[in-house]
Amino acid sequence: MIGHEVIVYTSNDCVQCEKVLAKLSKWNIAFEERNISKDERHFKDLKAQRIYATPATFFNSEKILGYQERRLRRALGIPYDATFQKTSNISS
């Protein structure tokens, strides 16, 4: 679907990490998982970028911290479906 490398930094027992990985799999996006709980090098990589929490998703020059489905969709070019659209008519 996309021609860019996607890297997801995760940690053990991280619910948001599991959500990101599940969405990427559902969308058939190839990714590399780097678990900071299992490999200290990955933690050091994140720390060098001043990131101290997971999930952290990287591709191209973009990084998305946490589970942000809308940002993931937009950045990866995944179209929105009817079940994802906001149903509220309240404007900000």
pLDDT in tens, the chain (92 residues): 445 689 999 999 999 999 999 999 999 999 999 999 999 999 999 999 999 999 999 998 899 999 999 999 999 988 876 454 444 444 43
* pTM confidence score: 0.81
Residue 9 lies in a domain: no
For residues 68 and 88, give the distance between their C-alpha atoms in angstroms, rounded to a whole number: 19
pLDDT given for residue 80 in this prediction: 79
| Structural domain range at position 30 | 16-76
pLDDT given for residue 84 in this prediction: 45
pLDDT given for residue 69 in this prediction: 94
Q: Which of 70, 72, 41, 78 is nearest to 56 (CA)?
A: 72
Residue 39 lies in a domain: yes
CA angle 4, 54, 78 (to 5 degrees): 40
For residues 88 and 49, give the distance between their C-alpha atoms in angstroms, rounded to a whole number: 37
Q: At a CB cut-off of 8 Å and minimum separation 6, what does 24 contact? A: 6, 8, 31, 72
Residue 88 lies in a domain: no
Residue 70 lies in a domain: yes
Residue 38 lies in a domain: yes
pLDDT given for residue 71 in this prediction: 93
> In the 3-class helix/strand/coil scheme, how is 61-77 assigned residue by residue?
CEEEECCCHHHHHHHHC
Residue 10 lies in a domain: no
Residue 87 lies in a domain: no
Number of independent structural domains in the chain = 1
Residue 92 lies in a domain: no
